[in-house]
A and B are shown apart, each in its own frame.
Chain A
Amino acid sequence: MGSADHQRAHLTSRPKLPSRTDVPSDARVLVLLAHPALHRSRVNGPLARAARAVPGVTVHDLYESYPDHDVDVPHEQALLLAHDVVVLQHPFYWYSTPSLVKEWIDQVLLFGWAYGPNGNALMGKTWIHAFSTGGPAEAYGPEGHNRFTLRQLLAPLEQTAKLCGMRFLPPFAIHGSLRLDTAAIAEAASRYQALLTALREGLRPRDDSHERTEVVTHWEAP
């Protein structure tokens, strides 16, 4: 191809700036992806790609949508209303989520909408975390060097979901993610897909058995 042709090909396939995630009419599972440097990610990047491949799942990349942390509140609320399940997918950072998730919570879960009088927009929906940790499973617990369990560390988030009348499912965790090889990451991605498919189909872990479950790593049909 001559250089002129090459240029023309370039022009016709002109890239567009990504716009906000569309609000779909039929999907039920919303993945809120929060990774501040996805281009460096070894685990969450492949996981997000896997999630996008599951039909009926909306993947919404928060750091791509709000690079300046300026969250579009009405848009986020519309997305929430259009889904039944909210999956917060992120790397575990400093025993919590990356900072934009906190900003997102502060801005979007408004008084009178998500909680408080008449604040029942999210009532009955499901909240679940899907995260990768650097540390191995044994590091989390009274005996481990991180001293607390993951559920204990997630307490503020769990209570946030509860206050909004949402059901908080045990988090889906990928442990020791820094040392996973490519095959292990691919395997984790397919486990993640299984989880999303089940959530999409409205399957939930039985409440009583999961109330105290620490984390889930494999999806088991109830």
Chain B
Amino acid sequence: MSEGEKIFTHALVYLGAALVVVPVARRLGLGSVLGYLVGGVLIGPYVLDLVGDAGTDVLHFAEFGVVMMIFLVGLELEPERLWRLRGTLLGLGGAQVGGSAVAVGSLAMVAGLPPIQAATVGLIAAMSSTAIAVQQLSEKGWMKSDAGQRAFAVLLFQDLAVIPMLALFPWMAGATEDGGHGSAHPLATLGAVAAVVVLGRLGVPPLMRAVASSGLRELFTAAALALVIGVTVLMGLVGLSPALGAFLAGVVLANSEYRHELESDIEPFKGLLLGLFFLSVGAGIDFAAVAANPFAVFGALVAVLAVKGLVLFGLGRAAGMARDQALILGVSLAQVGEFAFLLLGFTSALGLLPAAVVAPLMAVTALSMAAGPLLVTVAERWILPRWVATRTTREHDVEDEGAQVIVAGYGRFGQIAARLLRATGHRVTLLDVDNEQIEIMKRFGARVFYGDAGRLDLLRAAGAERARVLLVAVDDPAKALEIVRVARTHFPDLALLVRARGRVDAMELVATGVEGAYRETMDSALRAGTDALRLLGMPAHQAERMARTFRRHDERAMRDLAALRHDTGALQATARERIRLLEQVLADDASTTVPDDGWDADAIRTGQNRIT
């Protein structure tokens, strides 16, 4: 087999593994990262042995995915966002990295490592996997929860902490040995960093402008890739970590006008390469090392997961988090992350950690990444339901304000409705589940309570018993339906006015018998259409009447369709029929020869009307 054929065969093996295993993992609710890892194990030398000795080459190649990920992390580090998260970032993030490093480091010392090595291991193990954690949090819909927000801040801190670590390890290596070997010359380092910053600031924008003016999409992609690869090469030349360079480049470009362009160009490559990275990590797990010393490896695995999880849980509770949220924080960040592979590689190159330590730690890291999603699943399936069931109303802070109207979801939609109600002197209680949103609103003087309106106890606490109207303005249709069901069942007298995304959601809501279902875009779109009619020369009053007719028919059609919505065949036939009818109606309305209008004098003139 020639080299070229070999490459294609391997590509096919990797892609095939991803295509077969990842969907299954997702279906089982295990998350894609775990899928990739398992896929990697399957094609690895210990199961099917399809990759042979190419595995390590692929790993090197795939590490580039991590570099890209870090470049993107840098790109997304808007200073404002950092500033907003500064409290959690420095407090919780710092405590997590420090606490976990000390705890794991101590365990490593107990296990017999010399202090400097133990400290190194502690620092490396403190890193969590952004890829796994973010994936898990967003898959479970926890990204916006308290735990999600804080996890994000902690991950950000870790991303930032890598930079000083990359500087620290060479110095620590110097402290263990004669020093110097592998670490970069300080001047070269400074020069390279300066080069990245200056080029990013001054060189890249004109280059991008030139590329953009060429109008060739693929050139842009090429330029983005060249940028990341260029930084990687440059860093390699001076012996610095490519990740560090990529991160720097990302930060430098975070404020540039090409940020989104770069992001969308790199994103697909990152996704694919990161998948490849996880696959090769799976394939690279040294089961021989594990088998040689299974107790040490599994002991270390369990210890690391337990220590990191407990540290996070404890810190979360200390920071005032609810029990379930602290648990989510703990399980979603307990694993050791992709940075560890990088840092392990880096430190072993520095001679800071001996191969005898690095190999099993690589295995521990990979296994912990595999265990991470499992941990989350266990917590979600078996612990959280129990905690949530028994938890009291302590977690939401909702009060009964004697409101006439309860607004669930204080986003773009809820705000407008609530402002109208308040401006007209009505008592309105506001609920939301987005902490950030609540904080912002607080700054504008609006009191928004934290709490999930889908919960009966919470609605009761908000005063749903006596309120007249519940305005459901959440942007998630499934959540809206859930709130409607709970409210309908327990507060039959409460009128329900519900935001719907589109026609289908509105039909679903109408079928449940809510007092009002409002398609988000209906009113603005109709107004835009009416204005268009006017600009085309139609008198305002006629355009207005047209829009009203249109709306009336459209709404009637929706109601009729809602009744039929489960019978798809009938639904389509009726929809077609309705559209025909509506077109007919509008055509009639637009035509001056059809006497459809109260002001048609022609009919009076030709007829023998007594009025004149």
Q: Which residues of A contact B (CB under 8 A)?
A: 15-18, 36-40, 42, 63-65, 67-68, 91, 93-94, 133-136, 139, 145, 178-179
Q: State whether A40 touches B540 (Cβ < 8 A).
A: no
**Known interface pairs A39-B542, A135-B611; 9 further A-B residue pairs with C-beta atoms within 8 A, sorted by A's residue number:** A37-B599, A39-B538, A39-B592, A40-B602, A64-B539, A68-B544, A134-B601, A139-B612, A178-B601
Contact check, A18 vs B540: say whether CB atoms are below 8 A apart. yes
Knowing A17-B531, A135-B611, A135-B612 touch, does A39 contact B539 (C-beta < 8 A)?
Answer: yes
Check if B541 sits within 8 Å of A17, measured CB to CB.
Answer: no
Given contacts A17-B535, A67-B540, A67-B541, contact A134 B599 (CB under 8 A): no
Among B534, B599, B609, B611, point to the contact of A40 (Cβ < 8 A).
Answer: B599
Which residue in A36, A67, A134, A139 is a CB contact (below 8 Å) of B604? A134
Question: Once the chains bind, are B541 and A178 in contact (CB under 8 Å)?
Answer: no
Kindly list the 5 A-B residue pairs having the minimum CB-CB distance in the complex, ordered from nearest.
Answer: A134-B612, A67-B544, A67-B540, A67-B541, A63-B541
How far in angstroms is the closest Cβ of chain A from B608?
A: 12
**Distance of A91 Cα from B601 Cα, bound (Å):** 10
Complex Cα distance, B591 from A39, in Å, reads 11
On chain A, the residues within 8 Å of B599 by CB distance are 36-37, 40, 93
Chain B, residue nearest A98 (CB): B599
Query: Which size bracket describes the interface of B in this complex?
Result: 20 to 34
Q: List 24 A-B contacts (CB under 8 A).
A: A16-B535, A17-B531, A18-B534, A36-B599, A37-B541, A37-B542, A38-B539, A39-B538, A39-B539, A39-B592, A40-B601, A40-B602, A63-B539, A64-B539, A64-B540, A64-B541, A65-B540, A67-B543, A93-B599, A94-B611, A134-B601, A134-B604, A135-B612, A178-B601
Provide the bound-state CA to CA distance between A179 and B611, in Å. Answer: 14
B443 interface hit (Cβ, 8 Å): no
CB-CB < 8 A to B5: which residues of A?
none
Residue in B closest to A135 when the chains form the complex, CB atoms? B612
Bitwise interface map of B from 527 to 558 toward A, beta carbon under 8 Å scored 1, else 0: 00001001100111111110000000000000
Which residues in A have their C-beta under 8 angstroms from that of B602? 40
**B80 on the interface (CB 8 Å rule)?**
no
Q: How far is the CA of A145 from the CA of B609 in the complex (A)?
A: 12
Chain A residues with Cβ under 8 A from B395's Cβ? none
Residues on the B chain within 8 Å of A16, using CB: 535
Q: Which of B531, B534, B535, B611 contacts A134 (CB 8 A)?
A: B611
Residue of chain A at shortest CB distance from B606: A178
**With contacts A40-B592, A40-B599, A134-B601 known, is A145 near B539, CB below 8 A?**
no
Contacts of B539 in A (CB 8 A): 37-39, 63-64, 67
User: Which chain A residues lie closer than 8 Å to B611 at the CB level?
Assistant: 94, 134-135
B542 touches A17 (CB 8 A): no
List the B side residues contacting A38 at CB < 8 Å.
Answer: 539
- Measured between beta carbons, the chain A residues less than 8 angstroms from B610 are 145
With A17-B531, A39-B539, A67-B540 known as contacts, the answer to whether A178 contacts B605 (CB < 8 A) is yes
Closest to B538 in A: A39
Asked, given contacts A135-B612, A139-B612, whether A42 binds B601 with beta carbons under 8 Å apart, the answer is yes
Residues of B within 8 A of A178 (CB): 601, 604-605, 612
Residues of A within 8 A of B583 (CB): none
Residues of B503-539 contacting chain A, CB below 8 A: 531, 534-535, 538-539
**Within the assembled complex, what's the spacing in Å between the Cα atoms of A145 and B597?**
25
Residues in A with CB closer than 8 Å to B541 are: 36-37, 63-64, 67
**What are the residues of chain B within 8 A of A68 when measuring CB–CB?**
544
Q: Which residues of A contact B601 (CB under 8 A)?
A: 40, 42, 91, 134, 178
A40 nearest in chain B by CB position: B592
Cα–Cα distance between A178 and B601 once the two chains are bound (Å):
8
Query: Given the complex, which residues of B lie within 8 Å of A17, measured CB to CB?
Result: 531, 534-535
Bound CA span A172–B360, Å: 103
Q: Tell me whether B577 is interfacial, beta carbon within 8 Å.
A: no
Q: Does B600 contact A (CB under 8 A)?
A: yes
When the two chains form their complex, are residues B535 and A15 in contact, meaning their CB atoms are under 8 A apart? Answer: yes
CB nearest neighbor in A for B544: A67
How far apart are the CA atoms of A202 and B390 in the complex, in Å? 84
Chain B residue at smallest Cβ distance from A136: B612
* Contact partners of A40 in chain B: CB under 8 A: 592, 597, 599-602
Complex Cα gap A220–B471 (Å)? 64
Are A37 and B535 closer than 8 Å at their CB atoms? no
